[in-house]
Structure 1
Amino acid sequence: MEQQFDLAVVGAGVVGLAHALAAARLGKRVVVVDRDAQANGASVRNFGFVTVTGQARGEVWRRARRSAQVWNEVAGPAGIEVLQRGLTMVARRPEAKAVLEAFLDTEMAEGCAWRRAGDLADRLPGGGDVLGALTSDVDLRVESRTAIPRLAAWLEAFHDVTFLRGGAVRGVETGRLETTAGIVAADSIVVCPGDDLVTLFPEHFARAEVTRCKLQMLRLADPGWRLPAPVMSDLGLVRYLGYADLPQAEALRARLQAEQAEHLAHGVHLIVVQSADGSLVVGDSHHYAATPDPFARDDVDALILDEFARVFGQAPPPVLERWTGTYASARGHSLVEAPMPRVRLVTVTSGTGASTAFGLAEEVIAGLYDLPQQGAAA
């Protein structure tokens, strides 16, 4: 007998799991369908850094704030350790300091403060070439490789979400999914395909000019010191729109173009987070193509590690792992469309799935069920 669900979610990455959570919290019977046996895409190839500070002003920043709240709500029950809290956004140049000072005058600076270089010993080991840093207490970091599987397992055990893995979805229509394992019936459907832009609803991705972004990342050996919060630097100030859209960012962008043009050409900026075993996850770069090549370039890794050395004032520890990831990319934060009644297509197109998916999913689920546009109750 065919099983009937209230909601079927296609895709078990963080965006799909966020929609499953939002619906399950409303008491909906949810099934998640994924073609892979385990999490394998962008959701586990990233920093696990839930970044609030620096997200684009307005709705994206609000989604990130809400998403951080949800991560804090579910982390303990799901057995997910929050490894770091906050952010240390260093300024290496006067122009970067000016951007951060302007940021501190905005409503987005709640929980943030400026610290001089001499007051950063507890935040920034080593003697890097920095003028100071903006610190925050609103961001958090989990180990994405374990957090995503544990979140899925908790949804299954605590919220009775059904997972059907190893079956590809070949067709979607109102009320049913056609999969390689058979038909799945559901009153409503949310399709969260990540950077698969051709299998389902390709015309919507083409119309929105969605492409794919490849990034390079590294894991470094334990340096012998501890970071209480993730670290970023000047290069991030011209990529994260909460900073980059401020008028003061133009002067910084011009100086970076003069001094670090190769970094900018490869979309390199610095994020450094630390895992429970002391190792550091460091990245990243950005290259765009409809089908990115799978190869990591040593010269791009060298640019990332060069910025690491400048910020920390020491040579990077040995590299333990190298990998690439890809995600859907387009102008704007996300693509949310209704290709047919009771069906939503949702893809985060800004590389901020871990940071914003929970907030976005609550909005989508509220719209699907004609509820007020606010966070679903716990």
Structure 2
Amino acid sequence: MADTFDLAVVGAGVMGLAHALAAARAGRRVVVIDRDARANGASARMSGLVTVAGHAPGQMWRRAKRSREVWAEVCAQASVRIEHEGLAIVARRPEAATTLEAFAATEGGAGSSFYLPDDAHALFPQFKGDIAGVFWSPDELRVEPRSAMAKIASWLEEAHGVAFRWETAVIGVEDGEVSTSRGPISAEAAVVCAGDDFRSLFAERLSAAGLTRVKSQMLRVRLEDGYELPGAVASDLAILRLPGFEELDGVAALRARLEAEQPECLANGVVCLVSQSADGSLVVSGSRQADPTPDPFQSQAIDDLILGEFEAVLGKRPKQVTSRWIGTYAFSSERPVIVDAPSERVRVVVAASAAGASSAFAVAEETIAGLFGKG
């Protein structure tokens, strides 16, 4: 006889785990099914930074705020260490300073601050060179993604009774049943959270969403012993990637200047986002190259662009690069999150941007409420 659940979740990345939590909190019996032995996609490979600042105003910003609240609850209950909090965006150019100062005055910048050069240098001595200011948001938090995903899955199993079916491929999803490589699973409803695999299930429906895949080069580096960052750090290259800044003063001028000064960085989607781990090492990302089938090869030229920006902001080259890896994720230029309803009791949820960790818990609450009601 097939196992019976209220909800089957396909995918054990952060989006899948978020849906499992939302359903379990609503009193539902949940199973999570994943083809691998552990989470091994974007959720485990990206920086682990949960952002609030810079999301598009309205729904995505509200989702980020709510998800950050749930992240704090989950970290406390699942024994997931918060590595650090806060995000500094360093304006290397006056055009960036104009944009960051304008954003700090918006609703999306509530609680944030913009510091002019003298105060910025005094508050953030780590940032070197001739900078035009620093934007500081206290809302961001960072976890180690690989260990965090495993701890959250274990906690969901132990504290909320969520069942996991690892190393199990999902072949098909219909109302009432999920077909897998290990036999059928009966479930009243299903949510498919398959990350950047949007071709295996409901591919025909998702083909209309304009999805592609994105490859990002990542590095872990070391500086001298005892080096400490104030939180996550980004350079002004990141401004062009943040939807909440798109219409602000200074953005067009910043883009024009970057096109003249750092065209290779823009062509390869290079930003410099630096986060720190408990052992003092720094996770540095990354690049963004869109390709339906990203190759698995790390480009030294792109790594050099990333590390060049690292040096421009922090005034140092890494003492050591301890590891390099590739992350991939789904991407759409139209929508950062796609929620589709192939049938009454089935939803397909795709984080179509690098904002999966920053929106997952709120998106999950919305989806579960839609499937089961808020009561």
TM over 0.5: yes
Out of 335, 338, 357, the position equivalent to 2:341 is 338
Structure 2: any 5+ residue segments left out of the alignment?
none
Out of 354, 357, 369, the position equivalent to 1:354 is 357
Structure 1: any 5+ residue segments left out of the alignment?
373-378
2:40 pairs with 1:37: no
- CA displacement, residues 57-87 of structure 1 (integer Å, 9 cap, x when unaligned): 1111111111110010110110101111111
- CA displacement, residues 262-297 of structure 1 (integer Å, 9 cap, x when unaligned): 100000011000000000000100011111111110
How far the C-alpha of 1:222 sits from its partner, in A, is: 4.2
Counterpart-to-counterpart distance in 1, 2:251 and 2:91 = 12
Partner of 1:56: 56
Q: Which residue type is aligned with residue 351 of structure 1?
A: A
- CA displacement, residues 330-361 of structure 1 (integer Å, 9 cap, x when unaligned): 12111111101200000110111111111111
Partner of 2:19: 19
How far the C-alpha of 1:129 sits from its partner, in A, is: 3.3
How far the C-alpha of 1:165 sits from its partner, in A, is: 0.5
Contact 1:126 / 1:314 at 8 angstroms: preserved in 2?
Answer: no
Counterpart-to-counterpart distance in 1, 2:129 and 2:176 = 57
SS in 2 for 1:301: helix
Counterpart-to-counterpart distance in 2, 1:213 and 1:126 = 30
Contact 2:223 / 2:318 at 8 angstroms: preserved in 1?
Answer: no
Counterpart-to-counterpart distance in 2, 1:118 and 1:101 = 15
2:140 pairs with 1:139: yes
SS in 1 for 2:369: helix
Partner of 1:232: 234
Counterpart-to-counterpart distance in 2, 1:91 and 1:218 = 23
Contact 1:219 / 1:282 at 8 angstroms: preserved in 2?
Answer: yes
Partner of 1:368: 371
What does residue range 48-87 of structure 1 map to in structure 2 within 5 Å?
48-87=48-87
What does residue range 140-289 of structure 1 map to in structure 2 within 5 Å?
140-224=141-225, 225-289=227-291
Counterpart-to-counterpart distance in 2, 1:129 and 1:317 = 23
Contact 1:294 / 1:324 at 8 angstroms: preserved in 2?
Answer: yes
Contact 1:129 / 1:310 at 8 angstroms: preserved in 2?
Answer: no
Q: 1:124 to 1:153 in 2, by over 3 A?
A: farther
- Structure 2 length normalisation: TM-score? 0.97
How far the C-alpha of 1:198 sits from its partner, in A, is: 1.2
SS in 1 for 2:20: helix
Q: Which residue type is aligned with residue 283 of structure 1?
A: S
How far the C-alpha of 1:371 sits from its partner, in A, is: 2.6
Counterpart-to-counterpart distance in 2, 1:101 and 1:116 = 9
Q: Which residue type is aligned with residue 343 of structure 2?
A: M
What does residue range 103-142 of structure 1 map to in structure 2 within 5 Å?
103-120=103-120, 121-142=122-143
Contact 2:32 / 2:162 at 8 angstroms: preserved in 1?
Answer: yes
Partner of 1:311: 313
Q: Which residue type is aligned with residue 347 of structure 1?
A: V
Percent identity for Structure 1 against Structure 2:
51
- Structure 1 length normalisation: TM-score? 0.96
Counterpart-to-counterpart distance in 2, 1:175 and 1:312 = 54
SS in 2 for 1:262: helix
Contact 2:128 / 2:312 at 8 angstroms: preserved in 1?
Answer: no
**More moved, 8-17 vs 219-228:** 219-228
Out of 284, 291, 294, the position equivalent to 2:293 is 291
Number of residues of Structure 1 aligned to a counterpart in Structure 2: 372
Q: 1:314 to 1:73 in 2, by over 3 A?
A: same
- CA displacement, residues 295-324 of structure 1 (integer Å, 9 cap, x when unaligned): 110000000001000001122231110000
SS in 2 for 1:85: strand
- CA displacement, residues 9-43 of structure 1 (integer Å, 9 cap, x when unaligned): 00000000000001101111000000000111100
Counterpart-to-counterpart distance in 2, 1:321 and 1:123 = 27
Counterpart-to-counterpart distance in 1, 2:239 and 2:224 = 26
How far the C-alpha of 1:245 sits from its partner, in A, is: 3.2
Q: 1:129 to 1:283 in 2, by over 3 A?
A: farther
How far the C-alpha of 1:368 sits from its partner, in A, is: 1.1
Counterpart-to-counterpart distance in 2, 1:223 and 1:292 = 34
How far the C-alpha of 1:246 sits from its partner, in A, is: 2.0
Counterpart-to-counterpart distance in 2, 1:175 and 1:317 = 55
Partner of 1:376: none
Contact 2:195 / 2:351 at 8 angstroms: preserved in 1?
Answer: yes
Counterpart-to-counterpart distance in 2, 1:124 and 1:328 = 37
